[in-house]
Amino acid sequence: MANHFKSYLKKLFSDLHSAILSIFVGAIVLSVGGIWAFSKHLWFQLKTIMLLPTPLWITAILFLLLLMCLSKKTAVPLSTPDPEHREEFHVLWDKNNKMRCLNCGKPLKYSSSDTDPSVFYCSDPRCDSRHILKDKHGNKMSEQEAIDRMGAI
């Protein structure tokens, strides 16, 4: 009885192995045949399009190129400085004597280094421009010195 059961299990697993193997081989043959048939059909369609009168397929290509060009994103300007701000010492100043960025008009923040009080950065991370307070002769100055000189002007 045990031998009969073992032979039955061997036959069952052998048939199962053959069935799985034949399914894989059949799937590979069908997928390769499908790819070949599809590529043959695709090649035929491409030849047909290329043999059409020239203006039609050139027009279609130009239309697609136009769509691709129009779909590109254009750069968005950060912002424009307020015309009421005045430019002094290589930065913009608002009515309250607060410094603004020359590029985008956003407020400036102090540099992380304490050694040079004349260096400021734009607070907008997209702009991230560096500004150095300088007079007409190129001498660096602090924010308070610039405010004092503007008061004298």
Residue 25 to residue 75: CA distance in whole angstroms: 54
The pLDDT value recorded for residue 72 is 66
The pLDDT value recorded for residue 79 is 58
Low-confidence ranges of the chain (pLDDT < 50): none
Please say whether the beta carbons of 141 and 134 come within 8 A: yes
Go through the chain and tell me how many residues it has. Answer: 153
Residue 129 to residue 134: CA distance in whole angstroms: 16
Q: Give Cα 2 distance to the centre of its chain.
A: 69
The pLDDT value recorded for residue 80 is 59
> CA-based angle 32:34:39, to the nearest 5?
95
Please say whether the beta carbons of 80 and 103 come within 8 A: no
Whole-angstrom Cα Rg for the chain: 38
The pLDDT value recorded for residue 77 is 54
Tokens of 3: 């031998």
The pLDDT value recorded for residue 82 is 62
Q: In this prediction, what percent of the chain has a pLDDT beyond 90?
A: 0
The pLDDT value recorded for residue 74 is 53
